[in-house]
Amino acid sequence: MSEGPDIAPDSPSTDIPDIISDKFDYPAHRVIGSAAEAVNWVECSSLPEVDKAAFRVFVDRFPGLTFYRDDAALLAHLELRNAVVLPPWLWEVRQTLSGLGPDVQIRFDDFDDWLSPRADDTDDDDGFIDLWYEDRFFGYLQDEDRDRLMTGAECYPILSATTGVEYLLAADLRDPANGRIVDLCDEDIMDNRYAGRPGTESVYPAFESYASMLSHIIECRMEDGTVIRARNLA
């Protein structure tokens, strides 16, 4: 059983700086655009058509909102800060279309895969996934978090929902060519490792791809608390 993703010999130290002390200017390395501009980013990319179609569904659901994408300098900083090698597919999608902004919380209508316990955690009123997710793409909080998520679960965090425990949607680092998004709970990973079991036993498939994940966003909660539901839905 692998002890975690390989780190190249010239990779930085795994002494993760606290996110609060991270002085990198993230906003300066995010490209902001309208729905029309976001669609153009997608059309100009070399992504497969299935991903382009999923991205178009996502943008069409929220035509009045602002979208963003990361630049290469931001992604390189995250690799350095987190002492991790991000999969090539993650570099490509994040430089194409990252989402609606790191300060926007989101809900999903469904997961692609029903193996995850969270796929059954739905709201009684609307049937959607009953968790609000927020940005976690800055990576690991500190060394302990990196040990749990990278070494234990072999993943890199993208989004998180906190309800006493932390639920994560993450990039699967076990196979750099596998672009699926996985679902896990940090407490389950800790319990597995304490019991001598691989943390990956509690890592479940959630979405077929990053683009598919965004296409399943059904509601957004803005910084001021305003909730916006996807267009053409009651």
Residue 7 within any structural domain of the chain? no
Residue range 62-87, pLDDT digits in tens = 999 999 999 999 999 999 999 999 99
Residue 4 within any structural domain of the chain? no
**Which tokens go with 33?**
């655009």
* Average pLDDT taken over every residue of the chain: 90
Question: What residues pair up with 183 in beta bridges, in sequence order?
Answer: 169, 204
- pLDDT for residue 8: 40
Residue range 135-160, pLDDT digits in tens = 999 999 989 999 999 999 999 999 99
pTM reported for the whole predicted model? 0.89
d(CA 167, CA 151): 17
Residue 16 within any structural domain of the chain? no
The beta strand positions in the chain, using DSSP E, are 30-33, 67-70, 105-108, 134-135, 155-162, 166-172, 181-185, 204-207, 217-221, 227-229
pLDDT at 13 over 60: no
**Which tokens go with 197?**
């079991």
Question: Confidence band (pLDDT; 50, 70, 90) for 16?
Answer: confident
Residue 2 within any structural domain of the chain? no
- Asked if 14 and 146 count as a contact pair (C-beta separation under 8 A), the reply is yes
Residue 224's domain spans which residues? 25-229
SS3 content of the chain, % helix, strand, coil (to 5): 35, 20, 45
Pairing, β 204-207 against β 155-162: unpaired
- pLDDT for residue 62: 97
Q: How many domains are contained in the chain?
A: 1
d(CA 110, CA 128): 6
